[in-house]
Amino acid sequence: MTSKKNKEKIISPPLKDGELAHTLERRHVVMISMGGIIGAGLFVGASASIHAAGPAVLLSYIITGLMIFFVMRMLGELVIQRPEIGSFLNHIRRGLGHNVTFVLGWGYWLFWISAIAAESIAGGEMLQHYMHIPKEYSFTATMLLGPILVIAMMLTNLFSVRGYGEFEFWFALIKIVAIAAFIVVGGIAITHLFGFTEGHIENIWTHSGFFPNGLIAILTIIPTVLFTVTGSEVATIAAAESDKPAENVAYATRTIVFRIIAFYVLSIGVILAIVPWDKVVPGVSPFLMALQAIHIPYAADIMEFTILIAILSCLNSSIYATSRTLFELAEYNDAPRWLIHTTSNGVPKRAIITASFIGIAISIASYISPSHTFSYLLSCAGSIILFVYIAIGLSQINVRKKMEKANQLPIFQMWLFPYLSWFTVLSLIAVVIAMLFNSVSRTQIIITCAILGVIGICRVFTYKHSHTGEMKHSELE
């Protein structure tokens, strides 16, 4: 017998052009937010953070987790108050205006388009390794296999928003199961059950202490750690296309800090107990090193599969986030209006195809003309997320003050307003300042500011053509 819910789906009329679907469910939104913070940055990138700070890296992850938690709480307040207006970009538009959103919107688009290119390259390299392609053909193979992965993920996004949600649900579930299994197996090894003898909890503090590189190391690696746990804001983009946007965002924002602590702190704690921090090699998966240390069979194959899933997951979400960013910018005349076109089931087809092929073009260009240009673009694009988070905080402060003047209060509130809101914003600004004291990150920040400056100049020249955007802006008040 056909359920009432299924009947409603069958008889529902096609969506109007320019209208997005609302077919994602809570499980999709939750898994999208969870999958967003579990990527190759955890499975491989954590090695650099461990090497730089030693066991104190655990405190860096806790501090960063709290910062992300507060940002998401502020964003949750905005979204739950006005769930109908879309993703976090339109809430920045509410709080800081049209011009700031233009700059940060295109900056955010650059962040994700760079991610498409990076994941395309990483995925292509992994596949050619899996397929045992001879070394003399590896260059061509990687250049072809990467775009094939992008096109495959593009097709899942083109099918329907639910298609994206289902793929991301299972990708995230695989990553979560892998981490949970690692924590359980590692915990068994540390407690020396079932004949394990390699792990020792005291490894965390007996190799030059808990702070081998000093307290300052906790702060200096926070920018690196922050970039590895970004992506939770994608849940608010997805929530705008879900059945219950407000409820789904509220649930996701309440639980994010516990996920970060569970996945990052516990898993890295297990690694440090099995592999002394000074034995961790930057660029080599610390998970793989730990599994090999306790003699888990097929450890390399397990990690390669998990990392490939993480790459596909990030690629899937990158295409989704980039296309929706283009779509929302186009709604306000901040991008070409033809990108607003949607299919009968609410898929922004043109935005998805445009984002995918630009990502492919960048990845191919980086292969044909190898230089440091793309690596600089990727690292600087990552810095943009800091400015986006600062803007979210400032938007929440501005909108909340307007509400209080009108004797209104949001249903879902940021705690200790305005003190905790300002503390979070100032903490993020402190991260930017801290990056200026490191030669590598200083270059990233300078180039990031230059990129945002160029986008700002573009805004000056396109402002006179955005009358429709200004008209829609009034709908956000």
At 460-477, the pLDDT tens digits run 887 665 544 544 555 555
The domains found in the chain, sorted by start residue, are 29-476 (1.20.1740.10)
Packing angle, helices 419-435 and 439-462, rounded to 10: 110
pLDDT at residue number 1? 44
Packing angle, helices 26-36 and 245-260, rounded to 10: 30
Give per-residue pLDDT as tens, 96-143: 999 999 999 999 999 889 888 888 888 888 888 778 888 777 778 878
Per-residue exposure over 55-85, b if at least 16 CB sit within 10 Å of its own CB, e if not: bbbbbbbbbbbebbbbbbbbbbbbbbbbbeb
Low-confidence winner among 84-93, 351-360, 363-372 (lowest mean pLDDT)? 363-372
pLDDT at residue number 398? 96
Place of tokens 């052009």: 17
Summarize the confidence of residues 54-73 as an average pLDDT.
90
pLDDT at residue number 11? 44
Structure tokens at 329: 């910018």
pLDDT at residue number 126? 83
Summarize the confidence of residues 414-440 as an average pLDDT.
90
Summarize the confidence of residues 75-83 as an average pLDDT.
88
Summarize the confidence of residues 79-108 as an average pLDDT.
90
pLDDT at residue number 380? 65
pLDDT score of 224 more than 80? no
Residues 6+ apart with CB under 8 A from 155: none
pLDDT at residue number 468? 47
pLDDT score of 418 more than 80? yes
Low-confidence winner among 12-21, 144-153, 166-175 (lowest mean pLDDT)? 12-21
Band the pLDDT of 399: cuts 50, 70, 90. very high
Summarize the confidence of residues 440-468 as an average pLDDT.
80
Q: Which residue did the predictor score with more confidence, 42 or 351?
A: 351
- Report which of 251, 289, 252, 300 is spatially closest to residue 267, judged by C-alpha positions: 289
Phi, psi of 242 (to 5 degrees): -105, 170
Low-confidence winner among 67-76, 180-189, 210-219, 325-334 (lowest mean pLDDT)? 210-219
Structure tokens at 99: 């011009």
Band the pLDDT of 434: cuts 50, 70, 90. confident
User: Nearest 10 degrees: CA dihedral of 373, 374, 379, 385?
Assistant: 120
Distance CA 395, CA 97 (A): 9
Phi, psi of 24 (to 5 degrees): -75, 145
Summarize the confidence of residues 226-231 as an average pLDDT.
76
pLDDT at residue number 388? 94
Residues 6+ apart with CB under 8 A from 266: 183
Work out the mean pLDDT of the chain and round it to a whole number.
84
**Which of the listed ranges 268-277, 284-293, 304-313 does the model predict with the highest average pLDDT?**
268-277
Task: Provide the β-strand partners of residue 24.
Answer: 242
Q: Which residue did the predictor score with more confidence, 19 or 429?
A: 429
pLDDT at residue number 403? 93
Distance CA 268, CA 253 (A): 23
pLDDT at residue number 357? 95
For 157, other C-beta atoms within 10 Å of its C-beta total: 26
Summarize the confidence of residues 179-195 as an average pLDDT.
88
